[in-house]
């Protein structure tokens, strides 16, 4: 595994940890570990900046989809400071995945996320 591949994998692992974090302080800490302080998150449903706003988007997804977890779908691919990966939102009770998509992330010099550009491929009606 190249140093860049490891860098992408680490960033994406932290991304999933942030999306799957639970408990009173854990989501905010996970977002801070994954994103640069002025990092952004943009998808068809959100366009936010900073740890607080990103954590709020994640909290909103948890409220809308209780009992679901974000899981990787396929391999992480990247070059320079950019990586892309697929994901799906999985119901932990029955394994169904009503939501899926892919994200493109841009990393800063420390390997934290500067920006996320998300795309939804499968959404419930």
Low-confidence ranges of the chain (pLDDT < 70): 1-3
Distance CA 67, CA 80 (A): 36
21-33 confidence digits (pLDDT tens): 988 789 899 999 9
pLDDT for the residue 23: 80
Residues in Cβ contact with 105 at an 8 Å cutoff, skipping those fewer than 6 apart: 11, 12, 15, 82, 83, 84, 85, 113, 114, 115, 116, 117
Find out whether 77 and 83 touch, Cβ atoms under 8 Å: yes
């Amino acid at each position: 595994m190249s140093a860049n591949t490891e860098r992408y994998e680490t960033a994406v692992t932290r991304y999933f940890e942030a999306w799957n974090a639970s408990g009173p302080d854990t989501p905010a800490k996970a977002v801070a570990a994954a994103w640069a302080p002025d990092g952004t998150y943009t998808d068809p449903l959100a366009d936010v900046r900073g740890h607080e706003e990103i954590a709020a988007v994640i909290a909103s997804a948890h409220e809308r989809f209780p009992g679901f977890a974000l899981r990787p779908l396929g391999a992480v691919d990247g070059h320079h400071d950019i990586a892309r990966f697929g994901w799906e939102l999985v119901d932990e009770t029955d394994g169904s995945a009503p939501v899926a998509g892919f994200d493109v992330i841009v990393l800063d010099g420390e390997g934290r996320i500067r920006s996320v550009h998300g795309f939804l491929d499968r959404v419930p009606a």
